[in-house]
Amino acid sequence: MYCPECGTKIEDDARFCPECGTRMEQATHNADDVQECAAEDSKDNDIVISCIILTNTNLLAKSLHADANDIRTLLQQFIDIKKQAGIRYLLADASNYTYCKRGFLGARKKVSLDANSSIWDYTDILMDIHTHEKSGKRIVSEYVFIVGGNDVIPMPCTKNYVAHNKDNKTVDSDILYSFPYGKEMLANLENLEIFKYDQLFHVGRLPFGKDSTLDDLCSYLQRDIENTYGIPFTEAYAQCDPNWKNVSTRVAAESSLIEYLRNFDGKIIEECYYNRLILSPHVDIRNLDQIFHTSASLYYYNMHGSNALETPFYLGQSIDKNICVPGIAPRHMGSIQTPNAVFSEACYGARFIGLDKEKSMMLSSIHSNTLNFVGSSRVSWGATDNGASSPNNVGVSNADIMAAVYIKALLEGYNMGQALLIARNAVFNSRQPGDPHAALTIVEFNLFGDPTLYIVASEELLNKAKQEKQINTKPTDKKPLADKNDAVSYTREDIKNEEEEGPTSLLQQVRNAVNSNIAQMHEIIGKELYATYGIEPRPADSIFKIKYADGRETYHFNYKTSDKNSDIEQYCSVTASPDGKIENVLHSK
């Protein structure tokens, strides 16, 4: 037999483990208590992937208006079926969890977490399982599948690095579950030191709406099982704002997605599409049904989003920028007939907390036929076209890079969890370490759905995988995004650009000189925005200075570009060096 504490093989009649000293009578007595923490021997050669299902069945039952025992039975059936394909799912039920590690006199701690429990109670469970698996020389779980919304497993609300108004001070993100080292990780996330740590887990979450039921959980798990050997990939669908058509085309081209988009030449009027991408508002929710692809395998959206309850749509903005029009609604995502994955660049593109399915693009999608959805919880930043841009020379940044690299990784055979890590790495390396917009993009884009799922690019490969029971195990490098010697931290100083009244002291004179320099920078930026993007000169909504650990400084000017009649708030953020040189221009999605 094997010691359930450290995994050492010992004689069947042994009373103590010669390696760690665990009393075998006590281990036998507690055998039923450690199912959730992988006490069973896992040296089975048939197991190729291990994933922790993190949930709280009592809270999940309340959320879905169901019986907790029915949910446990359903999850166990899912686990048993998946194991036959070589995927081990370990149920970590926080409503009744027995720790693997032993305390005083060899006793195991038991916990029953509730709605008032903190995220650290949950990450401690993950760390307990990880430590137990690693010390016992078992297969170490690399994936965490969170089953439940924010009311079941709390979604951390963390600092927004580039908050530009009072409504954007925080970000909802599951990234802390990838780094479950302890409470200090919150501070490390806020000062960016977290990017120097090893990511222990690829994390995906299956959320639910206020109107979700047990049927939604059953349906998703059934679809997950049916696509264990890969989501069959045949065609793709892409829709974008016409002001971002070149940026979107470049994303589609660099990810190789464009070759899977349908050719509309001669089938619809030219104003409705560009390089096979559907353009909104030329196409809107009133006529989208005529051309929406309901049997694609991968969907990409580069459109506007909103946090307003009455605006659950993704929107497109007219070229004259006077109005935004709903281009696609949750009901369209609910009409898709085939298993699929989605990437959305839209602001609030994956919002779900406190919403019904019909009020969330992501919820409507994930509870229909979508298996994985990547989107932002807050304001998403990326590039926009200018007067001289084409798909070949237009710049891409932040959310655009995230989309291109994530989709490309999927098409190369990486699973959803791996693809998100690869995309985060690309965004991190696209800017100077510590760049706040890059850090925000990494944190605010979350993966929804089982992180072990993947796409199979041909029917032949899919059939072969099913016949041979071969699970995709393409390896990835899980090294930290930043080197331990990288200077990733920064300090932020908010700047008030206002004239001072009354007698001027020496200190005030210095401040005025600084403000004078900022005023000159503001004037230069205003001319550039108007000449390149057609944005009329206007006061800055906010200005702040970033000072990096290596001494470099940048100024960030944030402009509200939408008018009072606009359906959604839109912003432009310009990064400039202290001498006034424009380094980067980003636009909210």
How far is residue 348 from each of residues 359, 360, 361, 387, measured CA to CA in Å? 12, 10, 10, 28
Determine phi and psi for 49, rounding to 5 degrees.
Answer: -135, 140
Residue 559 host element (H or E): strand 553-560
Give the span between the Cα atoms of 185 and 558, in whole angstroms. Answer: 29
CATH code 3.40.50.1460 region(s) in the chain: 227-468
Q: Report pLDDT for 33.
A: 38
**Distance in angstroms (rounded) separating the CA atoms of residues 91 and 44:** 18
pLDDT the model gives residue 29? 32
So what's the pLDDT on residue 512? 59
59-74 mean pLDDT: 96
H-state helical runs in 469-549: 506-533
Task: Inform me whether the pLDDT recorded for 10 exceeds 80.
Answer: no
Asked if pLDDT for residue 579 goes beyond 90, the answer is: no
Q: How far apart are CA 91 and CA 72, in angstroms?
A: 9
Share of the chain above pLDDT 90, in %: 62
Return the pLDDT at 469: 80
d(CA 372, CA 449): 5
| Rounded CA separation 575/583 (Å) | 5
Residues 85-98 have a mean pLDDT of: 95
Average pLDDT over residues 468-493: 84
How confident is the model at residue 566, as a pLDDT? 66
> DSSP of 5-71, one letter per residue?
TT--B--TT-SB-TTT--BHHHHHHTGGG-TTTT-S----TT--EEEEEEE-HHHHHHHHTS-HHHH
| H/E stretch holding 342 | strand 340-344
Per-residue pLDDT reduced to its tens digit, 492-525: 888 864 544 445 555 555 555 556 678 888 888 8
227-468 has which CATH code?
Answer: 3.40.50.1460
Closest CA to 488 of 191, 190, 171, 178: 191
CA distance 88 to 85: 9
Burial class (CB in 10 A: 0-12, 13-18, 19+), 154: buried
Digit-coded pLDDT (tens) for 365-407? 999 999 999 999 999 999 999 878 889 899 999 999 999 999 9
pLDDT tens for 253-275 read: 999 999 999 999 888 998 999 99
Distances (CA, A) of 375 to 96, 121, 140: 32, 26, 28
Model confidence over 189-244: pLDDT tens digits?
Answer: 999 999 999 999 999 999 999 999 999 999 999 999 999 999 999 999 999 999 99
Separation between Cα atoms, residue 519 and residue 535, nearest integer Å? 18
The winner for highest mean pLDDT among 1-15, 270-284, 521-535 is: 270-284
At residue 104, the pLDDT reads 67
Q: How far apart, in whole angstroms, are the C-alpha atoms of residue 276 and residue 239?
A: 9
Q: Give residue 357's region: left, alpha or beta (phi > 0; psi -120 to 50).
A: alpha
Tokens of 285: 């929710």
Q: How far apart are CA 12 and CA 17, in angstroms?
A: 11
> Which residues 6+ apart lie within 8 Å of 80 measured at CB?
none
Provide φ and ψ at 450, rounded to 5°.
-65, 120
pLDDT at 530: 81
Query: 34 pLDDT band (50/70/90 cuts)?
Result: very low
Nearest C-alpha neighbor of 394 from the set 530, 577, 559, 587: 587
Summarize the confidence of residues 457-469 as an average pLDDT: 80
For 30-69, b/e burial (b = at least 16 CB within 10 A) is: beebbebbbbeebeeeebbbbbbbbbbbbbbbebbebebe
- Binned at pLDDT 50, 70 and 90, residue 27 comes out as very low
Task: Answer yes or no: is pLDDT of 93 > 60.
Answer: yes
Task: Give the distance from CA 367 to its chain's centroid.
Answer: 18
The radius of gyration of the chain from alpha carbons, rounded to an integer in Å, stands at 26
Q: Residue 39's pLDDT band (boundaries 50, 70, 90)?
A: very low
Tell me if 351 sits within 8 A of 307, measured CB to CB: yes
Bridge partners (DSSP) of residue 543 are 495, 557
Please give the average per-residue pLDDT across 285-294, as a whole number. 95
Q: How far is CA 206 from each of CA 153, 174, 363, 450, 517, rounded to the nearest angstrom?
A: 10, 12, 9, 7, 50
Cα pseudo-dihedral 186, 187, 188, 190, rounded to 10: 90
Reply yes or no on whether the pLDDT at 100 is more than 70.
yes
Give residue-wise pLDDT tens across range 557-573: 988 887 666 667 888 99
More confident residue, 14 or 116: 116
Mean pLDDT, the chain, rounded, equals 87
Tell me the pLDDT band of 433, cut-offs 50, 70 and 90: confident
Report pTM.
0.89
Beta bridge partners, 582, equal 576
Between strands 277-279 and 236-240, the pairing is parallel
Please report the pLDDT score of residue 513 as a whole number.
Answer: 54
Tell me the mean pLDDT in the region 461-473. 82
Contact 370, 573 (CB under 8 A): no
